[in-house]
Every structure is written in C-alpha cells, then in structure tokens.
Structure 1
Amino acid sequence: MMPPLMILIFNRRQMCHPGPDGSRRWAVRLLALLLGAFLSGNNRLSGSDAGSEQDAAPTIQNVLLIVSDDLRASALGCYGDPICKTPNIDKLAGQGLLFTHSYCQGTWCAPSRTSFMFSRYQGRGKRTLGEHFQNHGLYSARVGKIFHMRVPGDIIAGTDGQDVPECWTERFNSQGDEAHTPGDYACLNLNIFTDDLEGRQSTKMPHRMFVSVSIDGDGSDQPDHKTASKTIELLQEHRDERFFIAAGFVRPHYPMVAPREYFEPYPWQDMSLPPQVQNDLADIPKLGQSPSRSAKNGIDEYPDNQRRMWTAYYASISFMDAQVGRILEELDRLGLRESTAVVFTSDHGYHLGDHTFWQKSNVHVEVTRVPLIISAPGYESGRTDSIVELVDLYPTVSELAGLPIPEQVQGLSLVPVLEDPSVGIKDGALSFSNGHSWRTKNWAYMRYNDGSAELYDMRRDPGQITNLADDPQYNATLKRMHAGLSARLESTGLTIAQPKSIAPTPAP
C-alpha cells in the first residue's frame, strides 16, 4: 500500500485544481496542515526516530524571493553606487550576506528566469522551484513577473506571459498602464518631451527602450506597488503555514515610470556618464557588440538625454526599493523574519552607455553581474567574494528550507558560503549570449559563436576596455580560461565554437 504521505503528494495537483466554483484554497490549507505536521519532524531524516533532536524542524520554514528586472548590481548603494538611494535593499544587505561576484546565466529576461527557476544553464528541467516546494507541503505563490513577461506588453494587458502554472499554488499579475500613464513623458533617443497621451512609444515599438514617465501621485497605480501590496496580503494570509512566495518587480525595466518624487533627487545635470574611450569598439568582436549602440539608436546626438536616462533609471530603482521596504516591514511586523529566508536578486544587469552600449543581451560585466543578497535566520551577515551563479538559488533555498535537492538541478547550494563567506564552491561563472563567457574572480573570457574572443584582466581593467585575447603575452591565460569554460560547458552538456586564436594545431 502507498504510504499516506505519498498518497497526499500524488493527489495534490488534483486537489489544487480549481473546482467549478473556482475555489481551491480549502484543499491547499488542508494539505498544508497535514504535510506541515509531518515535515516538522521529518525534514532532515537520518534513520532515527522522528521525535529525536536531530530531526527537529528547521529554523527556516519559509522562503521569500524578491526579483528585480534589468537591475545592474553597480547601481545599488550597497554595491558602491554613491548616488542611487536604496535604503531598504541596503538594510537587507546589512542583515544578510551580500555576494559581490554573482552572475546570471541568460543575459535577457526569458532565458535567465527559466534558468534560475529550473536550475539549468539553458532550457527547462523536469520540475520548477515552486513545484519542488509544493511537493513538500509548502504553499507556492507568484506575484508579478517571475518567469518572462513582456514589459510593457503583458503588464498593460495583465496577462501571464511565459509563466509556468504548475510552479504555483496561486499566481497574481500586477497590471499597469506603463508608458500610457499620465505624466511627463520622454522618449530620450528621439528627444521628445510631452504630457500628451497620444503617440507614446509602447509595446513592440522600436524606441520604447528610451521612454521615461514622471508621474504625479503616490505610485499606487503602478505594477510594482501592486506587487508589494499583494505580497503583503499573502504574507498575512499564510503566516501560519509554510510558504514560498516570489515577488517579481518590473522596475527598473523600461519604460522607466515612477512618481515625480523619485525623479527629484537625481537632477540630470548632476548625472555622470560612463567613460567614453576613443576607438573602444575596435577590439570588441562583432558578436560582442550590443545591437543597441548610441550611434545606431540615435541617443548619441543628445548627451544630456543620456544623463536623463540615468536619472530615470535611478528613479525607477528607488521606487522599486520603496516597495521592497514595504514587504520587509510587514515581514517584520508579522514576526516572520525569524523563520523566513529572504533572497533579493535581478534576472540580469543592464548597459547605460558603457562602451556606448544600451540594454542587455551581451556578456560584458554590467550585464552578467547581478545583485544577490541572502538574509537567512541563523546565518551571519557580511560580504563574500565567492563566485556564484543564479542557477545556485534553487538548491540553496531548498537546503535552507530543509528540503532535498533534486538530482536535476545544475547549480550548487550556497549554504556552505552562508556558513563561511571565505569558502569558494566553484571556479567560475558561465553566461551566454551569441556565445559564452567564463568569469573567474580575476579574469573575464568571452568566446563567441564565430570563434572570436575577448579576455580582460578584471583587477587592472574592471571596465573591460582593453581586450587581451590577441596579445601573445596572455596566451597562457587565454588557454587556461578556455579550458575552464570548456570544462563547464562539457559538464552541462553544452558546446560552442573553438576560438580562432587558440584553435588546436592540425595533426601532421
């Protein structure tokens, strides 16, 4: 006969399916109570009696995952930005472990989010993170954007995008009017400024990436405010059961819409632009160059508008940070911080004029490096230089919650780093776009699909200005980095073109 627990797990998907009246909450609550009682004494079974001290319930009962969108790590105060005001994220960093060397795998929204929600470098695995938690008795909810949604398209429509419904017990979208929100509109690469609602760049339109809107009001009509409000509601509603709640914000993704009060601290006249180096693109291979460059998108004609892009980006971040603060304040008020692991990250970084590049979808550092903060009860706060990847989130939060780590995952648990921030668990980080990059603590190596390559000494050249791939002096380093990348690709079942500069010598 099938054990009772296995019967419950087997039937859970049917129990959670909405009935004719649309209700499924009673079944979810019943299941959570039954499984919660079992799991309290059996999360870390080792063959001894369930009532023994060794099998006591884990301190961490819940996981709150907070995901920003298009957020470059270097724009946060806790990562060293002296201008951007992010008091709530900075406070979380002071309470948890801040990872200085964390990297995404996909370099735009869809592949990155699929990657960390399945813990696979590319493509889908067998089971999402949310399904894994559900299968062990936790309530799983999404609010806002976790899997890919078109921004602004799916946000305006209030639709699910590429969401995976099996991941969630419940899911909630956060609708917003985006560029169509009344306020001071700008399309900065076209040098258009207006408060007219007609003719604004929006879904699938070619210049939507350069849109900002400074709005009146408190921002309660904005999707990120709605995401925070719904997340707070779910924390209140599920405070007495184990949960995995994922809150996905859309800012600072374009269009950069925020209340006027968040624009005011960042006068565009005070904004500094990334260093512009003469002939900077000469040593960057064609596949390594962003398709959105100042000379192609038109913003090179308006240096002041490049500064306004930074103003809007900072304003969007600060507005998003305020919503993070609302959620964390409620978590504290409910007394859940002592039992909840909080993870803050972004799907990837962003270019704002670096190398004259804008947006994402390439493997330079401002895109591949992402913020990552983990605040977990029982672990010390601090900083770590350990190399980590977003694929590591799935196994990490699983272990923190006392759950087994599925064999399908390709990431590694970061719990050893939480226990000792000086520990390193991997040699480098893998990212991909028109090829792959391999990032170690001191070096960055990019290998593109046409065999071209880039190599940077990140200690001396953190801005990745001088490509050393064709310098004979660094051939040994190039070969070492090539070997590291090849080994990681082989271990994950991926392959890519051989670099021209170190192609193997043909046999005689």
Structure 2
Amino acid sequence: MKKSNLSLVGTLLLFGLMVVDPLLADEPTDGDLNSISPVKSVLLIVSDDLRASTLGCYGDQVTRTPNLDRMAASGMVFDRAYCQGTWCAPSRKSFMRSRYVDAGCPTLGETLKAADIPSTRVGKIFHMRVPGDIFDGTNGEDVAECWTERFNSQGDEAHTVGDYACLNQNIFTTAMEGRQGARTAHRMFVTVQVDGDATDQPDYKSASKAIELLHRYQDQSFFLAVGLVRPHYPMVAPKTMFEHYPAESMELPNTWNQDLSKSGIPPAGQPGGRSAQNGIDRYPINQKRMWSGYRASVEFMDAQVGRMLDALEELGLSETTAVVFTSDHGYHLGDHTFWQKSNLHENVAKVPLIIRPGVRSGTSHANASTQIFDTQMLAKQGQRSESLVELVDLYPTVCDLMSVPTPSACQGKSLIPILSDPSRTLRAEAITILGQRKTRHFLLRTHRWALMSYQNGSTELYDMQKDPEQLTNLANDPEYAVTQTDLQRRLASVIAQRGLSLSTQ
C-alpha cells in the first residue's frame, strides 16, 4: 500500500521527440498533503451522460443549474477533466478502481471499508442499464463487495405518466401503449414531460435516500456515493422545467447538418448514432426538442444535488464533508450529426468535475479534532484549474481526503496538490480509451492538441486553442506532419507507461 499517489512519473520520454505544452507537470511534494488536515467524510455524486458545457459553471447561459453553480462557487472547478471510458460501464469501472481498462485494483469502497469507513451506494455508480435496471429496480453490474450498504432507486422511466415523445419517430402521445422502453430501438430519443414535481422519479428518490443516510451518519465518518441517472435517456422531468427551454429558442450545434463526406472525420471516428441513421435528420425541430429535454433533465438533476447540499448545511456537515461531483462521460447532441457517446471527440471525452473540500461557515476552528480543511490552504472559494486531470484520479483523491492509504495498484494521481494550488499540474496529457471487442482507439489530449488514433491507422488532429469545435481535421495537412508524428510517439509512450496495449485481446 502507498500513502498517496502524488509523485509524478519522471520526464516523459518520447522516443527522442516530444511536443512541449505551455504547462508542464510539476513535481508535488509530501508537504502538500501533510500540511492539510483531512475531512471527515466524502459525498460523491455522479451524474449520467452529462455534457459539461450545459452547466452554468462551465459557461452555459441557458440551462438552470443554480445548485452546481453554488457548489462551484465554494469549491474548485476542473476545466480539463477527461473520462477514461466513453460509455457507462468502462468509465465507471475505471474510476471506481483507478485503473484505465482492467479490474486490477480493489474498489474504492473496499479500500475505505478496510479502514473502518462505511461505504454506501444509492442509485447508479457501477454500470446499470438505463432504463432497464432502473425500471426493474435491479443492481445491474454493481460490485457488492464495494459497499457496506446499497440502495436502488426504481422509476417507471419512459412509462411515467405524462406527455411522451419519441422524437426521431415524430411521435407525441399521452397513451402508455407502444412506448420505447428497455432494449427498444428508439429509446434514446424519448422525452416525458411530467405533471407535478416528479417526486416519483429515481433521482428524487436517490436524493431522498441520501438525505436519510446523512441524518444517520452525521456523527461518524462515511463515504456516500450517489448516482443520479439524468440526463441519461429517457429524459424525464417536470413539465414546468421543459417550459424553461421552448424548442423554438434552442440553438443547434454549428455542425448539426454537417456533410460528413467533407468533414475530414474518418469512418473510424464516426459513431453509429448519427442523424442520418436514426432518422432525426428529418426533423430539425425535434433536434431542438432533444436539447429542450436534455436541459430540463439537467435542471431536474441539479435540483436533486441542491437538496443534498441543503441537507449537509442543515445537519452542520458542510465543513467536514468533501463533495465531489462528476459524470461518467459527456454526450453528443447532434454535433457533427453525432448523438450519444462511444466517441473520442471533446463533447464525450470531457467531463464536469467539481470538488468542494469543505465549506467554512463561521469563525476559524483551530481545534484539529474537528478535522476541517483550512480553506486558505485548500480550494479557495470559486477557484478553477486548467490542469489536465482524469477520472482515475478520483480514487486516490478520496483516499487522501480521508487519510486512507491508496493501494499501489491505483493508476490515478491524487488531486490534493491542485486543490491546494490550482496552478499545479500532475500530468502533461490525459487519455481516453474507446474499446471495442478486438481493438482499442485512443484520444491523447494535451493543453493544445487533441489526437485521436484509431486501430486501422486513421487519425484526427485538432488544434483546440484555435478550433475548439473540432471543425478542421489537421491529420492530413503537411504543415502539421511533425506535430502529428510527435504526438503519436507521445501517445505510444503514454500507452506503454500506463501498462496499456492497442488490443483488448
């Protein structure tokens, strides 16, 4: 076992060549961690399929996310956080074990339980089929040994009473018959506008159970992981929230009707869920309705986060409880005509990550037994970091927050140095992995560049400073040939350093 994962691997060897980024990784010292007293408990909140750019604290001016915005205002926002898996199952396994692709480390909950800290799950943390396991109230691919207790939150999902739409089929009804549910072909384009406050929804139930558990655990240390399923389809939310986002006012991505034959995106980079394949290309207004439903679902999810934050404050736990909020991956909503996930482009690979180590609400607490972070040392209110971080970093960060040794098998790095100083960096690049049955494809993300390397040899290269929407693939531009060669060598070095391989078999 190791105390923390703060040391940085030495200078990256790139087979003689290396692309130099504006920011280089600093070498954290043990003093960063030892000078900070640990929090008492951690609340981890994981949203599902959440696109970072739809949150107010990430610059969105449309979606109403007051609760995540207030959490951001009293914690730290990570502007360059990346998932390691591009759909639910591999991503969640990765961050709950701090491994890029395998299960070679005990789960986070097992490590905390071994330190006599109860580990409790509410809702979806490891993979569950949405809507299937949510409708059935079943555990999905959950790992039982991770938890001291676990609770599922059942919901009727697409069969919730309300105004139902299947937008790629242009179907609108209140009837219950014929709705797209688990394992149906068009379920990812379903919205349901619910009359009333939607207290029967799984996320509302999850927040209610979490609040109940906070009351129970308020006098002890705890790790509480709460998985919220929205905005994952079906996008079910109160009708009043849908009304905040009238379809006619929704703006589509600039590339919503892009001609892929002229886009420069190779076939390997084009996911299966494209507008021309699923039929929503016939209904531009329904693409706007998808945005309306997604934003309404995000707002509903945000409201549940707010209920949990309020409970922490009411119970006097805000000072001693670190709150971590993230998502398993991002989401496409018509960008490049792409929908959903399983893709290496920025809107899927980038995830929201907000960490609030603890909120001091009164005068200074000098008594070390209170185990409160000194906010002069850690995550001053409203800070942001542009350091490249990965979801595998959550596990060692939680361990360090709770003064629990991090298993040596963890591949992530503790974010404590960045929480202490947002200008610090732990790595010069982040990677995201798109795994298929026999192949793996990789994203190498630096501060400037995004390189997507596919198993068949095709690539995409984007200058993210000049082209954040990834409109121009520079991979075949002779002017950038040296840059691409350097980045490919860099990727090969990172793959080797992190014990990965190009093939899953």
Q: TM-score range by the shorter chain?
A: 0.7 to 0.9
How far did 1:353 drift? 0.3
Contact conserved, 2:43 with 2:322, CA < 8 A, in 1? yes
Deviations 1:158-180 (A, max 9, x none): 00000000000000000000000
How far did 1:261 drift? 1.2
Deviations 1:219-267 (A, max 9, x none): 1100000000000000000111110000000000000001111111100
Match of 1:466 among 469, 472, 482: 472
1:483 alignment partner in structure 2: 489
How far did 1:125 drift? 2.2
The question of 1:365 aligning with 2:346 is answered yes
The amino acid that maps onto 1:279 is D
The question of 1:99 aligning with 2:100 is answered no
2:291 alignment partner in structure 1: 310
The question of 1:376 aligning with 2:357 is answered yes
1:279 alignment partner in structure 2: 259
SS in 2 for 1:250: strand
Aligned pair count reads 446
1:78 alignment partner in structure 2: 57
Contact conserved, 2:98 with 2:105, CA < 8 A, in 1? no
How far did 1:495 drift? 2.2
SS in 2 for 1:237: helix
Distance 1:215 1:139 in 2: 36
Distance 1:167 1:488 in 2: 29
SS in 1 for 2:207: helix
Deviations 1:63-110 (A, max 9, x none): 100000000100101101110000000000001000000000000000
1:451 alignment partner in structure 2: 457
2:3 alignment partner in structure 1: none
1:51 alignment partner in structure 2: none
RMSD over aligned Cα atoms: 1.7
The amino acid that maps onto 2:245 is Y
Alignment of 1:34-433 (within 5 A): 58-276=37-255, 278-282=258-262, 283-377=264-358, 378=373, 379=378, 380-381=380-381, 382-433=383-434
Q: Which has the higher helix share?
A: 1
Distance 1:223 1:484 in 2: 43
How far did 1:365 drift? 0.2
The amino acid that maps onto 2:321 is T
What TM-score does the superposition give when structure 1 sets the normalisation length? 0.86
SS in 2 for 1:337: coil
Q: 1:55 to 1:311 in 2, by over 3 A?
A: closer
SS in 1 for 2:229: coil
SS in 1 for 2:224: strand
Contact conserved, 1:444 with 1:455, CA < 8 A, in 2? yes
How far did 1:56 drift? 11
Distance 2:233 2:444 in 1: 28
Contact conserved, 1:252 with 1:317, CA < 8 A, in 2? yes
SS in 2 for 1:64: strand
Q: 1:426 to 1:281 in 2, by over 3 A?
A: farther
How far did 1:432 drift? 1.3
The amino acid that maps onto 1:318 is E
Contact conserved, 1:137 with 1:242, CA < 8 A, in 2? no
Residue identity (%): 58
Distance 1:150 1:318 in 2: 22
The amino acid that maps onto 1:482 is Q
The structure having more radius of gyration, on CA atoms, is 1
Please, which moves more after superposition, 269-278 or 236-245? 269-278
Contact conserved, 1:395 with 1:412, CA < 8 A, in 2? yes
Distance 1:110 1:118 in 2: 12
Distance 1:55 1:496 in 2: 39
Please, which moves more after superposition, 54-63 or 282-291? 54-63
The amino acid that maps onto 2:480 is Y
The amino acid that maps onto 2:313 is D
SS in 1 for 2:387: strand
Distance 2:305 2:217 in 1: 19
Structure 1 residue runs without a partner (length 5+): 1-44, 47-53, 498-508
The amino acid that maps onto 1:465 is L
Q: 1:406 to 1:93 in 2, by over 3 A?
A: same
Deviations 1:407-434 (A, max 9, x none): 0100001100001100111011110115
Contact conserved, 1:362 with 1:432, CA < 8 A, in 2? no
Q: 1:473 to 1:56 in 2, by over 3 A?
A: closer
Deviations 1:97-151 (A, max 9, x none): 0000000000000000000000000021230001111111101100000000000
SS in 1 for 2:386: strand
Contact conserved, 1:280 with 1:465, CA < 8 A, in 2? no
Distance 2:492 2:148 in 1: 39
Distance 2:451 2:221 in 1: 42
Q: 1:278 to 1:136 in 2, by over 3 A?
A: closer
SS in 2 for 1:431: strand
How far did 1:280 drift? 4.2
